Each structure stands twice: as C-alpha cells, then as structure tokens.
Chain A
Amino acid sequence: MEDEASVPDEKEEFVLFEEEINRIQEAIDSVAKGEFSHIALVGEPFAGQHLIMGRIRDKNPDVASYIPFFNVIKGKEAITSTYGTKEIVLMDRCHFLALRKIGGFAMLDAFLDMISMSGKMFITTWNSFTWSYLRAVKGIDKFFPVVIEVPKLDSKTLMEAVLSHYEGDIKFIDDTEQPEEQPLVTTKSVPLNLPFGYRLNVPWPWVNLNRRPPEHHGETQSDIEKVVFDKITRIAKGNYGVGLRIWERSLDYPKIRLSKIPDTPCSLDLTINEAFLLYIVLSMESISFTDLAEIAGPEIDIEQTLYRLNSHGLVEQEKGYYRVNPETLNCVIAYLKRIRMVW
C-alpha cells in the first residue's frame, strides 16, 4: 500500500472524511482570529488519518508546515527546529515520539513542553493504540482539547471510495452458493477425563454466537455490488485501508468474484513475547527493525519472533519496515484486547 498522505486521487479524497477535513479546516481558519486549540487526529492503522492530513497539507501550503515522522525520534532537534515560522504545524505519525521502554518518554515530554509554550497551533495524527496507552500513562489528552477520531466507513461510503479509483466498469460476479441458515445451537464432542484414567467423549451443546443470517444475494449487478461491499466492510470492520487492501487482493480487473474475498476465521495463540512484539508493530503502524529492537529490548529475540509472526501471516515486511498485515488487523486487535495488551 502506498503512503496514504500522497494518494493523488482528488475524487476519492473529496468523498472520504469530508466532515473531519472541514472540521480541521474551520479550526485552521480561526487561527487568523487568534483562536486555536491543538488537535489530535486519532485512528487505527490504515484507517485514513494520514489521508486526512495529506488533504489538510495540500489545502494550506502557505500557513502550515508539514512534518511527517517515519522513524522513532531520537533527538529533540527533530521536533524543535523543523517547523519554521508558519503559524500552524502539521505533525504526522506522532506515535514515533514515545517508546514503550524505560526512558522512552523523553521526546514526548519535550514535545509536550514545546506545544505548551509555543504560540503555534499543532495538528497531529496518532495511532489509536499508542494514543490510548499515552492517555492512560501520560494524560496526553489534556494537551489536545480537540480530539477527532477517524470514523469507520459504512458499506456505501467504502464502495464510493474504492470505485473512485477506477474509470471503467467493474464486473461483480456472485459465484457462491446461497448459504443455508446456520443453526443457533449445535453439538460438539468434548473429551471428559474420568477417574482411573478413563476418558469419555461427551456431546455438549455449542451456541453459535458468530451466526449470521443468510445473505440473499439478489440478481442484479447493483445487488451483487452491495453484497460484495457488505462483505468487505464486515471483514474490514469499516477500516478504509483494510477494505481497500481486501478489495485489491480480491480484484482480477475488471472482475471481482464474491468467492475470492477471503473471510478466514480468527484464531490466535501467541506467547507473551510474540504478543508484545505484535503490539509494538501495531502501535507504531510501520517500524524498522532497528527501532523494533530498541523498544523490545534484549529479552526478546526479534528475528525469531518476527519470523513466527510472519509465518502466522500477522506481520509483513516492506522496504525494511514491518507492519501488521492489513487483512489480519482486526484479528490482531481482537486478540490483543482479549489478553488486555491493548486497552
């Protein structure tokens, strides 16, 4: 996936996140009247916060300095000497300011000192998991009176956003069988250990909590189009970047088949070190091996752990940077929430 902030598609950017962009633009316009509040734009990885930031940057080239971070910030000069004389500073990927390690908050403290003393308006983007962590640990939300969360997209908006990338018609093909309704209660055979080493397989009722009503696909192209995007939105849980990735992987231009959209079940069982490394990758969005090793410390064998995460399909590497595989993002989030590594 390319850098969201540099996506050049005017039509897509116009459609997406219009309300959030207008809200930030109004705040920028009010700086001229001497009113400003620092803004935090918070979203899950791939949710679209960098797309919004790119749009704001393009709309305000004369009044705003744009500072994107791509690596962990190691020197205070990186945050104090680069924003120039413009009244508004756009700081992208501020989650690189804090490291989850002893002494890892020095840059964040310097940054918070700076925005407290500076007379400039700071518009920042944050990974939502780093934001939640820093809110609990450092009370970071007190420095940002305006917090804008990147919204989840509904099926219709995702469809408009995705199709705006294409000039020609896409042919939607429903090649799946109409599913029968799944029963609410089924039985499973469970081994039961009895005294004296006996073992008994006992059928016990299993409530199918993930049961979904059968999707009646309809006949027309628009019906199938809706079913395709309903499915993508459900798997992506409304995350724009994840939805786009699923679409791209499923598309055989100019055709997309319903059966090609992957809907793999989520089942993870990781060690605490694997889960922690996965958490770091998730909360940093895209991180180099060196930075990962610095945060994880000597007690985690990075190469081996990354290999296992990669072989589970949870993490992928691109140009030396590691990130969570977008298709497994929601599975990863659910797992880390369940073991309470993200809050």
Chain B
Amino acid sequence: MVLTTLNETEGVIAELPFREFDSGMVLDILYIIVLAYVLVKVLSFAFRKIGDMAGSHRITATMLIPLLKIVIYASAIYFIIAAVLQPSLSQLVAFSGLFGAALGFGLKDIFADIIGGIVIAFERPYRIGDKISVLGTYGEVQDIGLRATRIVTPDDSLVSIPNYTIFKEATASGNAGKTEMMVVIDLFIDAESDAVAAMDILRDAAVTSKYVYISPGCPFTILLEDFPFYKRIRARAYVNDHRNEFEFHSEVTRRAWIALQREGIRPPRFPAHIPDMSRD
C-alpha cells in the first residue's frame, strides 16, 4: 500500500511541468525574493513613519504591517512556484498537498509558527507598538514576523518569541492598541504616618506629572491599603504615551517622596522584633 502511494507521488511529481533550470530562472527567483524583501522593508518603514506622524494613532498605522507581510510573502511564494513549474490549477493543488505534507512532517514547528503569525495578524491580540507580557517577558512589540514576534524589553534586549508559543499562551497587552496606558504606582509609608495627607500628595504628584493623560475614559484613582506594619498608597493613572511608562513612574515617585518627606511622612521601618503569635 505504502509502495503504491509512493509510486503515485513520484508519478505526480514526474508529470509536473518543471521549467528547464537556467540562469534566467535563477535571476527570476532572486528578483522575486529581493523585490518581496524590499517591498516589505519599504512598506514597513512607510507605515512606521506614517504612524510616528499620526501621534496618538501611531499603533493604528503600524498594525497593518503584519498583514502586508503575509500578503507579500504569500504572493512571492506563488510567483516562485509559477516561475519554476508553470503548473495548471490541478497540478498546483496537487503540489500544494505534497508541499503541505512535507511541511507537516519535516517543518511542522515552523509551519505552526507561521499559522500562529497569520492568526495573530488577523485576530490582533496585540499590535506592533503594544506593551505586552508573555511567558514572563515584558516589553514593546517591535515586529510581528511570519515566524516570531520580536519584543524589546525595558533593558533594550531584543527577545524573539515563536508565534505558536504566543498563540497558545496567555498574553497580556498593557495598552491594547492605544497610545495611553495605565500605570500603577505604589508608595509604602510608615503605619503611624498620615495616610490621608499621603494620598493627597500622591494624587497631586500623579495629576500634575508632565506624562499624565486624563480623560473620561482614562480616569485616575488613589487607593489606600492597610498592612500590619505599613500602609500602601496606590495611584492608578494613565501615561500619555506608553513609551514614557517608566519615566512617568519614576517622576511621580520622586516628586511624591520629596513632598512626603517635607510633610514628615516616612517610609516603613522594620519592626524591632516581630511578636511571636504562636504562643497565643
């Protein structure tokens, strides 16, 4: 049975109208590859430029890049096949089946990544420019390629994560395609300190920051939580551009602590000795 199938496959391949392999064909293939590569680079560059000019709509412009890549590379593959084989429709279908089987057996991981990339491009769980967290890696999406998504971490490392891995794991997007992003800023103060005054200071520090963005859809909140030996004051506010996330966090914290210390509000101190509750 297996022998028969192999013989049939060989027959189909033998019937494929391969063109004579000459320098012209090689040049054609090279030309298609270079053209697709240059086209992807130019269009990606153009869309990023348009995004930069668009200000708050930056991510809307860049989200088209992965789709363009898929269309261009799929077209390039088709033209290369057409250049080598000049197949009829039925032969193309037969060849696609064989090609798919080969991929399924030999290159299934890469194929899964490419399918993952296509799903990500259409479903858009995140977009180029988003801040995402996946498998413990946090950073800005720099590129969504056919095989992998590249993320730049806060310490400027470029991390490549295979698309299939992202596709099957939970992914958190901090800004979901928007420029603004919520930032949570925690300050811990001594349990004896005036928490209400501290809340007022942190509120002022957040809303007067040069990085803050406030609107009906992007409100700010100040929360207090009591812990056994300290109090936590939490500010939840939106940064105007998620690229300023860490600057916003740092600026608010720095200014708030200067004001807190001026008001005599101190950071928590370790208790001299923790009472042993087990004796009670």
Contact = CB atoms under 8 A, between A and B. Distances in A.
Interface of A: 100-105, 136-137, 190, 192, 194, 200, 202, 204, 272-273, 275-276, 279, 297, 337-341, 343
Nearest to A298: B258
Contact of A104 (B179, B204, B213, B241): B204
Contact of B38 (A136, A202, A275): A202
Nearest to B205: A102
Instruction: Say whether chain B's binding surface is mostly helix, strand, loop, or mixed.
Output: helix
B41 interface: yes
Contacts of B240: 339-341
Interface of B: 38, 41-42, 45-46, 55-56, 179-180, 201, 204-205, 207-208, 210-211, 213-215, 240-241, 244, 247, 255-256, 259
Contact of A102 (B179, B241, B256): B256
Contact of A192 (B42, B56, B179): B42
Given A102-B201, A340-B179, A343-B215, A137 B45 contact: no
Given A204-B42, A339-B240, A102 B259 contact: yes
A102 B210 CA distance: 12
A340 B180 contact: yes
A343 B207 CA distance: 13
B241 A339 contact: yes
A104 B200 CA distance: 11
Closest 7 pairs between A and B when the two form their complex, measured CB to CB: A338-B55, A340-B240, A276-B210, A136-B214, A102-B204, A100-B208, A102-B259
B55 A339 contact: yes
Nearest to A202: B42
A103 B258 CA distance: 12
Contacts of A273: 210
A340 B208 contact: no
A100 B211 CA distance: 12
Contacts of B255: 102, 297
A97 B113 CA distance: 58
A275 B55 CA distance: 15
Contacts of B208: 100-102, 104
A297 B214 CA distance: 21
Nearest to B180: A340
B210 A343 contact: no
A103 B55 contact: no
A200 B45 CA distance: 13
B2 to A, nearest CB: 44
A190 B42 CA distance: 9
A17 B205 CA distance: 39
A103 B180 contact: no
B266 to A, nearest CB: 17
B214 A192 contact: no
Given A137-B207, A273-B210, A340-B241, 9 more contacts: A101-B208, A102-B259, A103-B201, A136-B214, A192-B41, A192-B42, A202-B42, A341-B210, A343-B215
Nearest to A195: B37
A272 B215 contact: no
Contacts of A136: 214-215
Contact of B214 (A137, A194, A202, A272): A137
A343 B213 contact: yes
B231 to A, nearest CB: 19
A110 to B, nearest CB: 15
Contacts of B45: 190, 192
6 contacts: A102-B255, A200-B38, A272-B211, A272-B244, A339-B55, A343-B213
Nearest to A297: B255
B38 A192 contact: yes
B243 to A, nearest CB: 11
A137 B211 CA distance: 14
A75 B143 CA distance: 54
Contacts of B259: 102-103
Contacts of B41: 192, 194
Contacts of B180: 340
